[in-house]
Amino acid sequence: MYNAETVDETDRQDILASLGGDEAAFARLIERYESAVASLAWRFAREPAAREELVQDVFVEVYFSLDGYRGNAPFGHWLRRIATRVGYRFWKRRSRASREVPLADLDPPAAPGEMDPSAAGAAVHALLSHLPLPERLVLTLMYFEDCSVSEIADRMGWTRAMVKMRAYRARRRLKAVAQREHLLERLGWTS
Amino acid sequence: MDELKAMENLVRLARQERLPATDAASGAIERIRAGAVRPVRVLPLSVLAAAAAVAAAVVMVLAIHAWTAPADPQTALFPIVEVASL
């Protein structure tokens, strides 16, 4: 049923068992992939409760779509595609209530180069939140998932040309936002 | 430093961030149980629709045949009666 070269044997067994209604097998799949999904979900929701719910959303959707998995690509790839789409839907729901994160809330680093990774994560999140959602998604996947143009196109069902255009516009817009918000001065990286 | 370069540096730092742990398994399984049955897939539905269409076509052919055929076996006698009355 699944391509043995692409699908890990342990995954294959647990997928088949899950399809047969074995909850323990599905729990094992969750356990193996939870950290990857949670890491991606953090890029969509930085509030722990929202992120936890997002991770659950992903696995619930994975469970109910499991019989659509053909095994042509590793299970992790297929799962990340679902996670990306679930995260994107989360943004769309939130964007109705305008979820731009103000940069003014950022804590400036004590000294240049001494920025805390968590503060850097918050800064990136805040800056990207000023972009339109498709552009924000493209840069998020490029920055944090090391996705190529083709991979993003594949995950979202967009054309490569569309992804390239969105990446170009996103960078241009991001630069304008960073200038407007005096990012370099705030970070003390002006030299 | 260029703003985009600064952004890349920020991203590099942000990737070192220690993320809070999650425990999605129990919650997800609970929601799956509550969600009950898997949604019906489109493929079986389309097979069912095709079978229903074939059945409908057969019924229609039979119905047309029945409509055009004499309803009563005695109807076939009427032309003979007419000729006889002449």
Mean pLDDT (chain B) is 80
Owning domain of residue A160? 101-191
Last residue of a domain, one of A61, A84, A99: A99
Q: Are residues A93 and A107 in the same domain?
A: no
For the ranges A5-14, A44-53, B8-17, B75-84, the lowest mean pLDDT is seen at B75-84
Whether A28 contacts chain B with CB within 8 A: no
Q: Are residues A33 and A72 in the same domain?
A: yes
Stated as kind and residue range, the H or E segment containing A123 is helix A117-128
Q: Are residues A16 and A90 in the same domain?
A: yes
Which among A27, A41, A187 is the nearest to B29, CB-wise?
A: A27
Q: Are residues A55 and A116 in the same domain?
A: no
Residue B38, pLDDT score: 53
Q: Which residue of A has its CA nearest to B6?
A: A184
Contact at CB, B22 and A52, closer than 8 angstroms: yes
Q: Are residues A130 and A93 in the same domain?
A: no
Residue B46, pLDDT score: 83
Q: Are residues A88 and A21 in the same domain?
A: yes
As a whole number of angstroms, the distance between CA A39 and CA B15 comes to 10
Q: How many domains, chain A? A: 2
| Chain B positions in Cβ-Cβ contact with residue A70 (cut-off 8 Å) | none
Contact at CB, A171 and B16, closer than 8 angstroms: no
Q: Are residues A151 and A182 in the same domain?
A: yes
Residue A131, pLDDT score: 94
As a whole number of angstroms, the distance between CA B51 and CA A74 comes to 36
More confident residue, A140 or B3: A140
Angle formed at CA B51 by CA B49 and CA B54, multiple of 5 degrees: 110
More confident residue, B10 or A99: B10
Distance linking the first and last C-alpha atoms of chain A:
59
| Chain B positions in Cβ-Cβ contact with residue A23 (cut-off 8 Å) | 29, 32-33
Q: Would you list the DSSP string of A11-29?
A: HHHHHHHHHTT-HHHHHHH
Q: Which own/partner pairs from A9-13 qualify as long-range (CB within 8 Å, at least 24 positions apart)?
A: A11/A74, A11/A75, A12/A71
Contact at CB, B24 and A38, closer than 8 angstroms: yes
| Chain B positions in Cβ-Cβ contact with residue A42 (cut-off 8 Å) | 19
CATH of the domain at A32: 1.10.1740.10
Angle formed at CA B9 by CA B5 and CA B10, multiple of 5 degrees: 115
As a whole number of angstroms, the distance between CA A68 and CA A153 comes to 20
Identify residues of B whose CB sits under 8 angstroms from chain A CBs: 1-4, 6-11, 13-25, 27-29, 31-33, 35, 38-39, 41
Q: Are residues A77 and A124 in the same domain?
A: no
Q: Which residues contact A2 (CB under 8 A, 6 or more apart)?
A: A12, A15, A70, A71
| Chain B positions in Cβ-Cβ contact with residue A48 (cut-off 8 Å) | 20
Q: Are residues A92 and A106 in the same domain?
A: no
Whether A138 contacts chain B with CB within 8 A: no
Angle formed at CA A165 by CA A163 and CA A169, multiple of 5 degrees: 115
Per residue of chain A (191 residues), give pLDDT as tens. Answer: 677 778 888 999 999 999 998 999 999 999 999 999 999 999 999 999 999 999 999 999 999 999 899 888 899 999 999 999 999 999 998 876 656 676 665 666 666 567 788 888 988 998 999 999 999 999 999 999 999 999 999 999 999 999 999 999 999 999 999 888 888 877 777 65
A16 with A85: CB under 8 angstroms? no
Q: Are residues A92 and A122 in the same domain?
A: no
| Chain B positions in Cβ-Cβ contact with residue A179 (cut-off 8 Å) | 3
| pLDDT band (50, 70, 90) for residue B86 | low
A39 with B11: CB under 8 angstroms? no
CATH of the domain at A184: 1.10.10.10
Q: Which own/partner pairs from A143-151 qualify as long-range (CB within 8 Å, at least 24 positions apart)?
A: A143/B8, A143/B11, A144/A40, A144/A43, A144/B11, A144/B14, A144/B15, A145/A40, A145/A80
Query: 3-state SS string over A59-94?
Result: HHHHHHHHHHCCCCCCHHHHHHHHHHHHHHHHHHHH
Q: Which amino acid is at A45?
A: A
> Would you give the distance in Å from CA B67 to the centre of its chain?
33
CA nearest to A135, candidates A107, A185, A176: A176
Residue B82, pLDDT score: 59
Last residue of a domain, one of A62, A81, A99: A99
Last residue of a domain, one of A55, A71, A99: A99
pLDDT beyond 80 at B78: no
Contact at CB, B14 and A123, closer than 8 angstroms: yes
Which among A60, A115, A127 is the nearest to B7, CB-wise?
A: A127
Q: Are residues A134 and A189 in the same domain?
A: yes
| Chain B positions in Cβ-Cβ contact with residue A189 (cut-off 8 Å) | 1, 6, 9
Question: Predicted ipTM?
Answer: 0.81
Residue A98, pLDDT score: 58
More confident residue, B40 or A172: A172
pLDDT beyond 80 at B44: no
Contact at CB, A171 and B4, closer than 8 angstroms: yes
Q: Are residues A113 and A170 in the same domain?
A: yes
As a whole number of angstroms, the distance between CA A37 and CA A58 comes to 8
